[in-house]
Structure 1
Amino acid sequence: MDILTRYCQLVAARYRLFVAGVVIITLTMVYMTTHLGINATPYFLDPSHPSRLADKHLKETFTGSGENLMVATVTEQPSIFNSLSLAELHRFTLALEQLSLTVAADAERVHSYLLQLEKQGTLNNQAQELKARLTRYLGGEQHFAPFSAVDYSQLKRLGRQFELGGLMTAEELAGYTDFLTRVAPIHKVRSIVRIESVTASGDELDIHPMMFQIPDTEAGITALQEEAYANPLLRNILFSDNPQVINTLVELSILQDDAPNMRRVYNAILALVEQEGFSDSYHLGGPPAIFAQTSATMENDSNTFFPVVFAVVMLLLYVLFRNVRNMLLPVLVAVISVIWTMGTMAIFGVQQNIVSTMLPVFLIAIGVADSIHFLSEYRSRTQRGENRPVAAVVGVLFRPMLMTSVTTMVGFLSLTYTPIRFIQEFGIFVAVGVGYAFVITMVLLPALQYWLKPEKAANLQKSPLMTNWIKANVDLVVRHPRRIWFGAALVLLLSAAGVTRLTIDNEMIGYFSSSTKVYQDNEVFKNHLAGGGVIEFIVSAEQADYFKQAAAVEGLEQASNKLKSLPYVGDVYDLPAFMKLMNKALHGDDPAAYHLPQGAEDIYAQYLFLYENSNGDEIFNVVSEAANEARIIVFVRSDKTSVMDNISSTIVPYIEQQLPDVKVTPAGFGEVLIATRDEIIYSQISSLLLSFGFVFLALLGLFRSLIYAVIGIVPLLLTVTINFAIMGWSGLFLDVGTAIVAPIAIGIGVDYAIYFINSCRRQGTVSAETLQRTLSHLYPPIVFNTLVQGCGFLVLALSSHQALINLGILVSLTMLVTAVVTLLMLPSIMLLLFGAKSSPVTPAEEAPAS
């Protein structure tokens, strides 16, 4: 008696216990999923990646380097410089500076801490005032926001006191840190109200806010407009050539990976604009806007995907099986595998991201596959009169189901061979889910078959339509093999041409529909300002005060001119622009003096000294305090990775040629996009090679035959080639979404080949008759799985994120291609190689149903 037979006997004797075990584990995992977090950042790379480290260094070295949300204001009046628009911009700036994301629950928490400090006798007068204010707020005596940005310093000191007083656990301390971020989410606002205006009084610089008060006369408005447009440093960055448009840069205190708070501040600013009822329109752009929209997309998709794919799969299963029980059982297995997987993610502290949002769709679509094979075989044997043929079904299917699960897991695990963290996590947990689905199928379905009453169902395999399909397939393979080979050659030829058209690129804003606000707002920045995309460069020298030297600043000026000549570059914000602006101010504000200063060797050091003594601080956005590092900010009217890469690959060697003593490091969001694309190229090649290698070894181990392993790989090669060809012909980029299609195609697509080859070997010979028998068993489960999985993956097309839409369509097409290639190419190959010859494997009495 083998181990599978003993296992089935144990299930027959203890089926209730097996079902109860699955239920208990599932309920535990349901509880764990309540702790599953969401990470919506578009930064796909791990913080330890060189591009992320460069961005971190930039933020630690230069002021004004936090995440910057852009807010463009557009008026319908002839010019934004009118009394109403300026008054609204002033009100908007003040409101932003006081913006807080705190809620009543925060007030309750802080109030409880203050009460505990009061009991300890360590509450000072300032904290007493805060407690009294919160008491009035919580009592409903006053209606105001519980906290504002002015409370930040006091609350930060109190947090340290709460921690030292032992009032907070480690988890509560982390929550308090997040609370502090929400108290003052905005670090600085650079608008016409607050931006530095550089003028001069004699030999002294006069640096002051450009609009420290709202002009109350037409003459004052005209003077303000002239002062604004006389500042070339801010042209196209704050002030547009279109007089109806003006920009505000909102520097956030929120970390780039803190997607929840990024979305909160985005929504809070939208709500602020709506609440104030401004007469002009306000448009939000820049990376934080993309972060926020990505987060919203994830939430909407999560709420949509699961119920829709659930309904689609159930409907298809009912149509295919015409039986409620056999409709529910595969879905039950798939749903449990999703719950177990999401619970496992929560246990290991892994958050959902823009890629793993698709995980339920994949697991439900893939998770029903084993169940369909199991139930098809079970129904077939029941129709032939066998009573509860659980042991027979498990004996026939265990090995091929195990191998198909392993190969599918290998396909997804190959995605982990990449530095792109989100793809790593997606690959790992889909593989985990596939493993869970196999275990659940082998544990739950046999137990339920013993528990539930025997139920006869119509034999779907005798459907006239299915019978005609099988007959046509066999006739084509046996009588017209040349047509198959000619068709395959033609497809390969067209595919090769399509692959040559494939491009590798990425465009964050392009993933959103043109009807979305984030896309439409970006058009304002692209058409009327310097653009919503940004790439930055850190120019580093070992020598202190290096960028106080004339040659160094002049080298940066040449780089600036080079950058402005490149396509899509809207403007450049850098140290030479500041120097030229100060030179212009010190020469009577003469526009002709807007050039780099001439004179003594230390003139740049003098200008920096004058600037610092005039209480200016914006220049440290572009030069470090030690003057050994400079920052170049390039505003781009596109966030296409190819555009960013062209800028980077052009300017880095150019600067290093002009200034041989420096090192140039690309940084910022644009560089992260470039690095992500480059990693996609590397990971795509690696994942493909690993997938093919592991699948080949799995086939070799399963069939113990080199020729069968090669035969199993052939349809995969054709399928992957067609996949890339479809992308090339349709103009789709090879990007973060589409890069994972090929390994998925290999992992899932090999399943059909395993079942087919296994079935043919069990027949003993390959002939028209044996192909007829094999296909009569294989057609229903293959067709069922193709329809269920293909339609399941198409649910991704309901997303508002184009990357997910493309992925859903491509995977669905891949499933269809895999099925067609398996049912046409594999029989043709087997007949060509083994026709009318005995198989080395002892023939079985009949082929398996799958």
Structure 2
Amino acid sequence: MQLIQGYLRLLERRYKLLIALVLLITLGFAYVASGLQTNATPYFLDQSHPSRQADQFLKSHFSGSGENLMIATRTEQASIYNADSLEDLHKLTLALEQLTLTDTTDVSRLQQLVQRLPAHDRNGLEFASPLQPRQIDQIRTLQQRLQQVGVLDKADQRWLQEMQTRIHPVTKVRSLVRIESITANGDELDIHPLMFRVPADEAGRSKLAAEAQANGLLRDVMISRSPQAVNTLVELSIPQDDAPAMRRMYDATAALIEQLQLRDHYAIGGPPAIFAQTSATMEQDSNRFFPLILLVVMVVLGLLFRSPRSVFIPIGVAFLSVIWTLGSMVLLGYQQNIVSTMLPVFLIAIGVSDSVHFIAAYRHSSGSTADAGLDRQTVKAQRLGKVLNHLTVPMLLTSLTTIGGFLSLCWTPIHFIAQFGAFVALGVAYAFIITLTLLPGLYLWLPAARQAEQARPSALMQRLIGLTQQLVTRHTRALSIGVVAVLILCGLGIQRLQIDNEMIGYFSSHSRVYQDNSEFKRDFGGAATLEFVLRAPQPGYFKQSQHVAGLEQVQQQLLNHPRVGAVYALPNFMKLMNKAMHGDDPQQYHLPAASNDLYAQYLFLYENSNGNEIFNVVDSSYQLARIIVFVKTDQTSAMADIVQRITPVIHQQLPEVEIIPAGFGEVLIATRDEIIYTQITSLLLSFAVVTALLLALFRSVRYALIGVIPLVGVVAGNFALLGWSGLYLDVGTAIVAPIAIGIGVDYAIYFLNHCRQHPGSNREAVADAIRQQFAPILFNTLVLGCGFLVLTFSSHQALINLGWLVSSTMLLSALFTFLVLPLCVLFGRKPPAPQVADLPGVIPLRINGYPSELPE
């Protein structure tokens, strides 16, 4: 312990400097943390993941493959094809095409950048409010000229790149006004906008309604089977992961609909709507969680210590660890995401733990008569020396186990979970460092308490301790039977466990995004999509009749799935062209006769008529085909079931093609699959780290295994809670089990160490360990459990589930420590009590009057 003694001497001389240094570092981190940005994308997998690469492959080969914001229109009139509704749809389409996400501050910054150029290079670069989408070419020109003269720094370059998206966020609007309609004019195909202008009379509107309703290509995609509803697809140029821009687009669209004072009801859906609402929820939760967790932890600490100083100091340590961690996130180039939104809650709840141990030990070291005759500063230094000598090692070990539990989350392709695990682990390390530097310095600097703060156990606490001792030591058989029964219930609950995910299900049924999504399920094929890219061995493959017929069989099998609402693929185009070439006879809406020449002729006529929508489902060489499946739910199990059922059908109908599942649905499926890998990897790593630390601490295989046994029960209980409650094991709840191991082992360390050091029999050791450890473990459980319950105030169901599950798991951990762990000790052989040298610095922590002072 020479290192600790040297640190104590440094503290006595330089404690004010250490306090100042910690505060100075905090100010630096606080300044950096103010620049923390939010990434609310629900894509939990990194762009290097195969599912994300498949999605990028799709987007690079097909038109219409950008993120699509859906706008459903529903009228109260008998038909949407009335004059008012059609006029509003026309107005909305034109307004969406001219929509920008810029403001006056952008104009000012553009003007400032123009001034950096020499006068002769400023020609054609005039920007005034409001900016128009057509000015995107001017922004590109400005960027090129600034680069040529060498006056464009990286920050401005990133901003100009972002501006090109913000000034022209809409790639294409597909609505009744713009979508292709395929008819025939003699031997030629006539491809024209379905509604180039609003029909002037009832006859024109009736003709439009008939043409739209007869369009099998768009049925359940844009044209509802109900005559009262139509859908508009707004393809965005915004990258998938640019959640802030997605949110601006969603908000701007909602504001535009309100501003235009449209007469019908409009619902907004699709992945961009989920991105936007997730971002809004994160912002609300960030503002809500922090004050709530501070309040909850302060109340619990107040009940524990009944001293303002002992409340605000632990809160201060945890608060500083949050600032340091958020600052580190910004310095390392990371953004806050849907998972790391919970980071302050975790750090506040966990970060006070070391401080609670430290303060409790310091308070209970105040009754020594050996301090008589010494000045107050010397007395405080001696008391701090006792506390640091006895708590540094156990605090280090328990911090390491917690860090190990969170670091085990890093071995996962779900990069949001990996980031969360890494930064919580970093925050726990920061809390340990701050506790050992700031707390001793504060106690040396602050005036001594007026009297010894001796807390005595309450009557309720004494009764709880007595009941637990009696249950463990006198009713061992009954307790064992009860534990077995609980484990059987856990096994039954685990059998009910489902690994799944449902993005829209995380929102309240009263939220706009949830209600809007219900309208897409009612009137159309759904707002969620699953896509397949089929890669043929040679170009022209999908011009051949037998291969298009194979696609038709695949499409029919998809439509037979109960969750599939619509399919958009090449056969739809061929059937619509065949219908057009036969006088728009509805009976001819089928694939033409099996003739490759006829198929090639239809496609030739289509391309010569300036048609381009077909390239949403095939590439220009006809070697790649795309099948877009509209699904009534974004539940991952439903998506996976569709893939599982349709893959053998594709292999049967088109045995030569390579199948590449892609799109939003495939990313959700891949995320679910990675959750399984994450759970296995994280649990194995957590148990390995904990077992290694217990072996190093106790130097006993028996005690290391005894310490792990209750943790296995806690993990089983966690999964059983999920199974019995009907909740899914998803991205949020997948992090609970490794966390429970990392935090729960702290209880086992203190309890088992007390049993080992006790000189009496196993029964006596267990009884005394319960008496000494009940209060600290109970209060730590209260701090953690109540702290995590703050997450239940979220408006996002994933965080609500996580909040009560972590709190329940913390309670389970305490129960297993007091009920299962003693049984394991009682049934084991009592080892000889270790000498002090065997476990340097590790002693049982006692709160509420046990003992009156720390040993020398």
Task: Answer whether TM exceeds 0.5 for this pair.
Answer: yes
1:61: Cα distance to partner? 0.2
Label 1:433 to 1:461 Cα distance change in 2 as closer, same or farther (>3 A): farther
Distance in 1 of aligned mates of 2:135 and 2:367:
75
1:529-548 correspondence runs (5 A)? 529-548=524-543
Q: Does 1:367 align with 2:351?
A: yes
Aligned amino acid, residue 469 of structure 2: V
1:329 corresponds in structure 2 to: 313
Aligned with residue 319 of structure 1, among 303, 307, 313:
303
Distance in 2 of aligned mates of 1:848 and 1:106:
59
Q: Does 1:849 align with 2:846?
A: yes
1:141 corresponds in structure 2 to: none
1:450 corresponds in structure 2 to: 444
Give CA-to-partner distance per residue, 1:342-376, whole Å, 9 cap, x none. 11111100111000010000000000111111111
1:427-826 correspondence runs (5 A)? 427-455=421-449, 456=451, 458-598=453-593, 600-766=595-761, 770-826=765-821
Give CA-to-partner distance per residue, 1:583-623, whole Å, 9 cap, x none. 11111111111111226422222211111110111000000
Q: Does 1:169 align with 2:153?
A: yes
1:121 corresponds in structure 2 to: 120
1:247 corresponds in structure 2 to: 231
Q: Is the 8 A contact 1:197 1:207 kept in 2?
A: yes
Greater displacement, 778-787 / 465-474: 465-474
1:21 corresponds in structure 2 to: 21
Percent identity of the aligned residues? 55
1:437: Cα distance to partner? 0.9
Q: Is the 8 A contact 1:461 1:467 kept in 2?
A: no
1:31 corresponds in structure 2 to: 31
2:375 corresponds in structure 1 to: none
Label 1:207 to 1:17 Cα distance change in 2 as closer, same or farther (>3 A): same
Q: Is the 8 A contact 2:290 2:344 kept in 1?
A: yes
Q: Is the 8 A contact 1:412 1:743 kept in 2?
A: yes
Where does the alignment leave 5 or more consecutive residues of structure 2 unmatched? Answer: 372-378, 848-856
Where does the alignment leave 5 or more consecutive residues of structure 1 unmatched? Answer: 138-145
Aligned amino acid, residue 729 of structure 1: W
Give CA-to-partner distance per residue, 1:528-584, whole Å, 9 cap, x none. 111011000000012011111111111111100111111110010000100110111
Helix, strand or coil for the counterpart of 1:462? Answer: coil
Label 1:789 to 1:383 Cα distance change in 2 as closer, same or farther (>3 A): farther
1:472: Cα distance to partner? 2.0
Greater displacement, 604-613 / 1-10: 1-10
Q: Is the 8 A contact 2:121 2:145 kept in 1?
A: no
Distance in 1 of aligned mates of 2:210 and 2:186:
20
1:319: Cα distance to partner? 1.7
1:140 corresponds in structure 2 to: none
Q: Is the 8 A contact 1:513 1:802 kept in 2?
A: yes
Helix, strand or coil for the counterpart of 2:217? Answer: helix
2:376 corresponds in structure 1 to: none
Helix, strand or coil for the counterpart of 1:232? Answer: coil
Q: Does 1:412 align with 2:396?
A: no
Distance in 2 of aligned mates of 1:356 and 1:453:
39
Q: Is the 8 A contact 1:461 1:777 kept in 2?
A: no
Q: Does 1:92 align with 2:76?
A: no
2:264 corresponds in structure 1 to: 280
Give CA-to-partner distance per residue, 1:187-215, whole Å, 9 cap, x none. 10000011001111011111111111111
What do you get for the CA RMSD once the two structures are aligned?
1.6
TM-score between both structures, scaled by the size of structure 1: 0.96
Give CA-to-partner distance per residue, 1:716-751, whole Å, 9 cap, x none. 011111111111000010110111110011011000
Distance in 2 of aligned mates of 1:300 and 1:539:
42
1:783: Cα distance to partner? 1.4
Distance in 2 of aligned mates of 1:91 and 1:384:
84
1:780: Cα distance to partner? 2.5
Distance in 1 of aligned mates of 2:697 and 2:657:
58
Aligned amino acid, residue 622 of structure 1: V
1:310 corresponds in structure 2 to: 294
Helix, strand or coil for the counterpart of 1:211? Answer: coil
Distance in 1 of aligned mates of 2:389 and 2:758:
17
Helix, strand or coil for the counterpart of 1:233? Answer: coil
Distance in 2 of aligned mates of 1:363 and 1:206:
65
Distance in 1 of aligned mates of 2:758 and 2:574:
84
Greater displacement, 53-62 / 542-551: 542-551
Label 1:73 to 1:780 Cα distance change in 2 as closer, same or farther (>3 A): same
Distance in 2 of aligned mates of 1:282 and 1:215:
22
Q: Is the 8 A contact 1:46 1:420 kept in 2?
A: yes
Distance in 1 of aligned mates of 2:338 and 2:434:
27
Distance in 2 of aligned mates of 1:831 and 1:562:
62
1:758: Cα distance to partner? 1.6
Greater displacement, 612-621 / 2-11: 2-11
Label 1:619 to 1:846 Cα distance change in 2 as closer, same or farther (>3 A): closer
Q: Does 1:179 align with 2:163?
A: yes
Distance in 1 of aligned mates of 2:56 and 2:503:
21
2:42 corresponds in structure 1 to: 42
Q: Does 1:392 align with 2:386?
A: yes
2:361 corresponds in structure 1 to: 377
Distance in 2 of aligned mates of 1:635 and 1:490:
46
Aligned amino acid, residue 638 of structure 1: T
1:829: Cα distance to partner? 2.6
1:833: Cα distance to partner? 2.4
Q: Is the 8 A contact 2:465 2:774 kept in 1?
A: yes
Q: Does 1:401 align with 2:400?
A: no
Q: Is the 8 A contact 1:30 1:343 kept in 2?
A: yes
Aligned amino acid, residue 657 of structure 2: V
Helix, strand or coil for the counterpart of 1:460? Answer: coil
Distance in 2 of aligned mates of 1:60 and 1:767:
69
TM-score between both structures, scaled by the size of structure 2: 0.95
Q: Is the 8 A contact 2:40 2:338 kept in 1?
A: yes
Q: Does 1:257 align with 2:241?
A: yes
Greater displacement, 152-161 / 190-199: 152-161
Distance in 1 of aligned mates of 2:826 and 2:593:
85
1:222 corresponds in structure 2 to: 206
Label 1:74 to 1:158 Cα distance change in 2 as closer, same or farther (>3 A): same
1:327: Cα distance to partner? 0.3
1:7 corresponds in structure 2 to: 7
Q: Is the 8 A contact 2:401 2:745 kept in 1?
A: yes
Q: Is the 8 A contact 1:538 1:629 kept in 2?
A: yes
Aligned amino acid, residue 832 of structure 1: F
Label 1:619 to 1:655 Cα distance change in 2 as closer, same or farther (>3 A): same
1:773: Cα distance to partner? 4.2
Helix, strand or coil for the counterpart of 1:582? Answer: helix
1:185-200 correspondence runs (5 A)? 185-200=169-184
Q: Does 1:425 align with 2:419?
A: yes
Give CA-to-partner distance per residue, 1:392-414, whole Å, 9 cap, x none. 11111111111111111111111
Distance in 1 of aligned mates of 2:146 and 2:332:
29
Helix, strand or coil for the counterpart of 1:638? Answer: coil
Distance in 2 of aligned mates of 1:49 and 1:101:
30
Helix, strand or coil for the counterpart of 1:656? Answer: helix
1:275: Cα distance to partner? 1.1
Aligned amino acid, residue 41 of structure 1: T
Distance in 2 of aligned mates of 1:366 and 1:806:
19
1:840: Cα distance to partner? 3.9
Distance in 2 of aligned mates of 1:480 and 1:447:
48
